[in-house]
């Protein structure tokens, strides 16, 4: 009898768990999920020493600039979303800005054709925001001395063992890095590529970090670092001047907020397109019971893909730097508008992107990035995504400074109506203007359940960030997966143009056939974002998930 009951209980518990579970990392007090293990360890050490989530985020971001230079950076920009344990939240926008000398057609050559200068070389870089953003975060919310948070990065710059993944990443970007002597010398050892296990020392970067540890953001924007950077720009035909650096400011913005199926969502406002995207797509999904079709079913994928298609059409038209363009956020998130968009979705048939235009919203109202998610012992949470855009940015290492520069200028509509590096077709709203911030897809997001912290999430992945973050959240909320399973599950992506449904590996041929039968043009995607997330479990434990598509680590104590 007892055995029978045991068997029944076992069967029930097996049925209750959706799939064979891949376990997240568990910790009682605090957790860091970041895309490079040494940097994760730096964050955990700061938290163990009593630092708060912002302290840890600052230290991890500086460390990633050393150990994960394809994306971690001093020469780029990003967004930091913070929710304090007392319930307040804020958003720091330290996105790069177009240099003052920028012009609408600066990347168009004869015949109006894009020259590629927005992607590679000195002219591709926007004015970096990272050091300003990290200092602002620390000044307002940090608790440990600044120098203590920069120190671990400077130490790592003395040398750390190269991982297999990093060695391969450098090798695969050799063509780009080879074009710029300082990058070739530092990252490719002038052609004698680093082997896994060798020690990688970056003395120029170490000195830059030590100066920043002493002089803060002032050193980066007005000190020796600024002077050297501006001089090198001038000597190499770049656009960033001493004046651009001096006038750079981090902007504190109000996060966007919304709700989905009883969860509160706190997310990134413009100049991110991500928060609007997330909330609009969730709005279209809510109440449809699409999830009853089951995770990874063709019917569910179809419905979510149609939702994605509709949002990206709006993105192309209505999203941009809010300081330059009146982004109609509340119209785009209006319940009636969303219901009207939803009503054009047919469960059995794909729309074509040609027939889906951006919705009619009256303008009446006023291939490398990285993400870290952190929760500290008190329940403060940070979601930070920052980037130099492409892997190793524009390829240029600032001479004598040791850090790579971004190619964020390509996130503008270099030629409105034509696809950018991520195939995104964008409109005049996101055209280049001096001092403007290019539209971003970065989507650092925090979820609450019953007013309490539930999830911290975000990702790199270009235009696929928004859909990647969406799917991980849906996997947790709608399909009951643990955070690691939610991240591991195969993902898909649709961005309106090109009219393609991109699928990662892992969907069954039967599912793909059903999607094709509905009229989708299916294509393969090597990956749809790399997600780092932390979930607060009902028992109070923290569960950390780190994307197996990348080489990061979740850890805590």
Dig out the tokens for 196 from the structure.
């896994």
Torsion of the alpha carbons at 45, 49, 53 and 58, rounded to the nearest 10? -60
- Does position 328 interact with ligand DON (CB under 6 A)? The reply is no
Is the CB of 475 or the CB of 527 nearer to ligand DON?
A: 527
- Does position 442 interact with ligand DON (CB under 6 A)? The reply is yes
Q: Kindly identify the residues of this chain, within the stretch 449-468, that bind ligand DON according to CB under 6 A.
A: 460-462, 465
Of the candidates 202, 203, 234, 208, the residue with the CA atom closest to the CA atom of residue 220: 208
Stretch that binds ligand DON, among 156-164, 250-258, 364-372, 492-500 (CB under 6 A): 364-372
Question: How far, in Å, are 6, 260, 340 from residue 26 at the CA level?
Answer: 27, 26, 42
Q: Are 94 and 64 in contact (CB under 8 A)?
A: no
Dig out the tokens for 367 from the structure.
């291939």
Dig out the tokens for 292 from the structure.
């009853």
Q: Kindly identify the residues of this chain, within the stretch 411-440, that bind ligand DON according to CB under 6 A.
A: 411, 440
Helices 130-141, 203-222: axis angle to 10 degrees equals 70
Dig out the tokens for 123 from the structure.
């002219």
Stretch that binds ligand DON, among 96-104, 152-160, 231-239, 366-374 (CB under 6 A): 366-374
- The SS3 call for residue 255 is coil
Q: How far is the CB of 390 from ligand DON (least distance, A)?
A: 7
Q: How far apart are CA 395 and CA 484, in angstroms?
A: 33
Is the CB of 40 or the CB of 463 nearer to ligand DON?
A: 463
Is the CB of 204 or the CB of 411 nearer to ligand DON?
A: 411
Q: How far is the CB of 424 from ligand DON (least distance, A)?
A: 9
Q: How far is the CB of 270 from ligand DON (least distance, A)?
A: 12
Stretch that binds ligand DON, among 107-115, 213-221, 296-304, 361-369 (CB under 6 A): 361-369
Q: Are 73 and 57 in contact (CB under 8 A)?
A: no
Q: What is the contact mask toward ligand DON in residues 229 to 268, using x (rule: CB under 6 A)?
A: ----------------------------------------
Dig out the tokens for 188 from the structure.
């490719």
Question: How far, in Å, are 195, 320, 341, 501 from residue 291 at the CA level?
Answer: 46, 32, 19, 19
Cross-strand pairs, 207: none
- Does position 69 interact with ligand DON (CB under 6 A)? The reply is no
Residue 21 CA to its chain's centroid (Å): 26
Of the candidates 423, 411, 435, 529, the residue with the CA atom closest to the CA atom of residue 119: 411
Give the side-chain half-sphere CA count within 13 A for 231: 10
Is the CB of 42 or the CB of 442 nearer to ligand DON?
A: 442
Single residue of 67, 373, 387, 430 touching ligand DON by CB under 6 A: 387
Is the CB of 401 or the CB of 442 nearer to ligand DON?
A: 442
Q: How far is the CB of 200 from ligand DON (least distance, A)?
A: 22
Q: How far is the CB of 316 from ligand DON (least distance, A)?
A: 14
Of the candidates 518, 402, 501, 395, the residue with the CA atom closest to the CA atom of residue 119: 395
Is the CB of 244 or the CB of 408 nearer to ligand DON?
A: 408
Is the CB of 273 or the CB of 433 nearer to ligand DON?
A: 273
- Does position 35 interact with ligand DON (CB under 6 A)? The reply is no
Stretch that binds ligand DON, among 1-9, 163-171, 218-226, 362-370 (CB under 6 A): 362-370
Catalytic residue among 241, 369, 467, 511: 369
Q: Which residues, other chains included, contact 327 with Cβ-Cβ below 8 Å and sequence gap of 6+?
A: 270, 276, 318, 319, 320, 429
- Does position 389 interact with ligand DON (CB under 6 A)? The reply is yes
Dig out the tokens for 160 from the structure.
């750390």
Torsion of the alpha carbons at 538, 492, 333 and 545, rounded to the nearest 10? 30
Cross-strand pairs, 387: 77, 369
- Does position 367 interact with ligand DON (CB under 6 A)? The reply is yes
Is the CB of 291 or the CB of 387 nearer to ligand DON?
A: 387
Q: Are 482 and 24 in contact (CB under 8 A)?
A: yes
Q: How far is the CB of 79 from ligand DON (least distance, A)?
A: 9
Q: How far is the CB of 308 from ligand DON (least distance, A)?
A: 16
Residue 244 CA to its chain's centroid (Å): 25
Q: How far is the CB of 222 from ligand DON (least distance, A)?
A: 26
- Does position 441 interact with ligand DON (CB under 6 A)? The reply is yes
Q: How far is the CB of 169 from ligand DON (least distance, A)?
A: 12
Helices within 286-354 (DSSP H only): 298-318, 329-332, 335-342
Q: Are 310 and 356 in contact (CB under 8 A)?
A: yes
Q: How far apart are CA 156 and CA 150, in angstroms?
A: 10
Is residue 369 part of the annotated active site? The answer reads yes
Is the CB of 40 or the CB of 387 nearer to ligand DON?
A: 387
Q: Are 332 and 280 in contact (CB under 8 A)?
A: yes
Is the CB of 270 or the CB of 462 nearer to ligand DON?
A: 462
Question: How far, in Å, are 208, 303, 338 from residue 343 at the CA level?
Answer: 55, 12, 9
Size of the site for ligand DON (CB under 6 A): 14
Q: How far is the CB of 69 from ligand DON (least distance, A)?
A: 14
List of E strands, 95-226: 160-161, 199-200
Single residue of 135, 306, 368, 547 touching ligand DON by CB under 6 A: 368
Q: Which residues contact ligand DON by CB under 6 A?
A: 367-369, 387, 389, 408, 411, 440-442, 460-462, 465
Q: Which residues are catalytic?
A: 369
């Amino acid at each position: 009898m007892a055995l029978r009951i045991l068997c029944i209980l076992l069967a029930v518990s097996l049925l209750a768990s959706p799939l064979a579970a891949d376990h997240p990392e568990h910790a009682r007090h605090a957790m860091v999920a970041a895309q490079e293990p040494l940097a994760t360890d730096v964050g955990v050490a700061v938290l163990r020493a009593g630092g708060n989530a912002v302290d840890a985020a600052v230290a991890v971001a500086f460390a990633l600039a050393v150990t994960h230079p394809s994306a971690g950076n001093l020469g780029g920009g990003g967004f930091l979303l913070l929710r304090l344990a007392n319930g307040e939240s804020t958003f720091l926008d330290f996105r790069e800005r177009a240099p003052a000398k920028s012009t609408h057609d600066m990347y168009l050559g004869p015949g109006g054709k894009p020259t590629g200068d927005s992607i590679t070389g000195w002219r591709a870089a926007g004015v970096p925001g990272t050091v300003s953003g990290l200092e602002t975060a620390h000044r307002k919310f940090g608790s440990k001395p600044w120098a203590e948070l920069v120190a671990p990065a400077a130490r790592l710059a003395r040398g750390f063992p190269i991982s297999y993944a990093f060695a391969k990443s450098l090798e695969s970007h050799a063509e780009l890095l080879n074009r710029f002597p300082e990058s070739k010398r530092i990252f490719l050892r002038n052609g004698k590529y680093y082997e896994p296990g060798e020690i990688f020392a970056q003395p120029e970067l170490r000195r830059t970090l030590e100066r920043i540890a002493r002089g803060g953001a002032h050193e980066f924007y007005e000190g020796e670092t600024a002077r050297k950077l501006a001089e090198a720009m001038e000597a190499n035909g770049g656009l960033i001047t001493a004046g651009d650096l001096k006038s750079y400011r981090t902007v504190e913005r109000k996060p966007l907020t919304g709700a989905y199926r009883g969860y509160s969502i706190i997310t990134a406002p413009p100049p991110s397109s991500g928060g609007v995207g997330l909330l609009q797509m969730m709005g279209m999904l809510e109440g449809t019971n699409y999830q009853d079709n089951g995770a990874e079913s063709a019917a569910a994928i179809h419905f979510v893909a149609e939702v994605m298609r509709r949002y990206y059409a709006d993105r192309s038209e209505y999203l941009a730097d809010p300081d330059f363009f009146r982004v109609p956020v509340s119209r785009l998130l209006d319940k009636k508008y969303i219901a009207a968009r939803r009503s054009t979705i047919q469960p059995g048939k794909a729309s074509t992107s040609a027939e889906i235009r951006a919705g009619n919203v009256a303008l009446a109202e006023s291939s490398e990035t990285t993400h870290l998610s952190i929760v500290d012992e008190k329940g403060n949470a940070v979601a930070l995504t920052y980037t130099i855009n492409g892997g190793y940015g524009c390829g240029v290492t600032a001479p004598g400074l040791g850090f790579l520069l971004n190619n964020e200028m390509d996130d503008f509509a270099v030629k409105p109506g034509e696809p950018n590096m991520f195939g995104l077709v964008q409109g005049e709203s996101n055209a280049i203007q001096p001092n403007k911030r290019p539209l971003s897809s970065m989507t650092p997001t925090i979820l609450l359940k019953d007013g309490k912290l539930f999830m911290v999430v975000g990702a790199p992945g270009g235009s696929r960030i928004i859909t990647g973050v969406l799917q991980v959240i849906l996997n947790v909320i709608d399909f009951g997966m643990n955070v690691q399973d939610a991240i591991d599950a195969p993902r898909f992506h649709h961005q309106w143009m090109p009219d393609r449904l991109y699928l990662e590996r892992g969907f069954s041929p039967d599912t793909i056939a059903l999607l094709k039968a509905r009229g989708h043009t299916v294509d393969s995607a090597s990956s749809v974002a790399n997600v780092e997330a932390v979930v607060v479990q009902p028992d109070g434990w923290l569960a950390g998930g780190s994307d197996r598509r990348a080489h990061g680590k979740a850890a805590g104590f």
